[in-house]
Amino acid sequence: MDDQHHRGFDPVPAQAEDIFGQGESASAPSIQFKFEDLVSPDTHLVKKVREFVQSLFAERATPPTYNHSERVFYLGQAIARNHFPGHSLDLEAYYLSALFHDIGCSEKNLRATKMSFEFYGGIIARDWLLRNGADQDLADSVAETIFRHTDFVTGSLTLHGQIIQLATILDNLGQHQRLIHDETYASIVSHFHREGWSQCFADTMQMELDLKPWSHTTALLKDDFVNAARQNPYGKKFEKE
């Protein structure tokens, strides 16, 4: 590939502390965005993916996952505009990554494979995109982002991989609150409600652990992340139980 920045292939540090400093003390104050200030691509491919993902997550126990995926796109965009001024998201590639990123977490897909949900989800997304006319760089970018969206390691990630990590951790655990204005989060949630997401996410991750005690999700147990997700006081402020 001639341009490493194309489709979000822009290397950034993998650990947030290396970008923002310890405790995020070095991050600038977050500008407030209204939902209407944020944009989404409306390509033919995006429309097809929305329809596909919505139909999958309409099944029992996972409907809130679709709204989470939308929130991750808008949260990531706001974080990027606030705190990554020297970088530019490829909005189509990042949106598709956000829509697909938990595709491996539908109950059907959790039970369909012994693979960790991130890897199976990335494979599903890449194959689907290539079958539906996406170019290889786009399909590879989406798959790479999905594969590594729970890969909290040293080294580097793509820009999209880092942004999706920050957005998912914020939405799932309530961490990195400084990276987004509360009113921005509230505006996004008003369009894509949480609908008990804290409980849904924690239950889904527990199912992954029960079905696959070898899965990549086990790497997160040291932080008691399932219980932290279930509690998530920041997210629950915006839930309508």
- The residue extents of the domains of the chain are 10-19+42-233
**Residue 107 pLDDT:** 86
For the segment 185-197, the average pLDDT, to the nearest whole number, is 94
Domain 10-19+42-233 in CATH 1.10.3210.10: yes
Question: Which pLDDT band, with edges at 50, 70 and 90, does 236 fall under?
Answer: confident
Q: Is the pLDDT of residue 188 over 80?
A: yes
pTM summary value: 0.92
Q: Is the pLDDT of residue 229 over 70?
A: yes
With beta carbons less than 8 A apart as the criterion, state whether 74 and 188 touch: yes
- pLDDT single digits (tens) 128-144: 999 999 999 999 999 99
- pLDDT single digits (tens) 76-114: 999 999 998 878 899 999 999 999 999 999 888 999 999
Instruction: Dig out the tokens for 131 from the structure.
Output: 């079958």
**Residue 159 pLDDT:** 93
For the segment 1-28, the average pLDDT, to the nearest whole number, is 69
Question: Which pLDDT band, with edges at 50, 70 and 90, does 121 fall under?
Answer: very high
Question: Which pLDDT band, with edges at 50, 70 and 90, does 62 fall under?
Answer: low
187 conformational bin, left if phi > 0, alpha if psi -120 to 50, beta if neither:
alpha
Which helix (H) or strand (E) segment is 68 a member of? helix 64-83
Q: Which residue has the higher pLDDT, 239 or 78?
A: 78
Nearest residue to 151 via CA among 119, 174, 178 = 119
Q: Is the pLDDT of residue 118 over 80?
A: yes
CA dist., res. 198 & res. 134, Å (int): 33
With beta carbons less than 8 A apart as the criterion, state whether 42 and 140 touch: no
**Residue 240 pLDDT:** 63
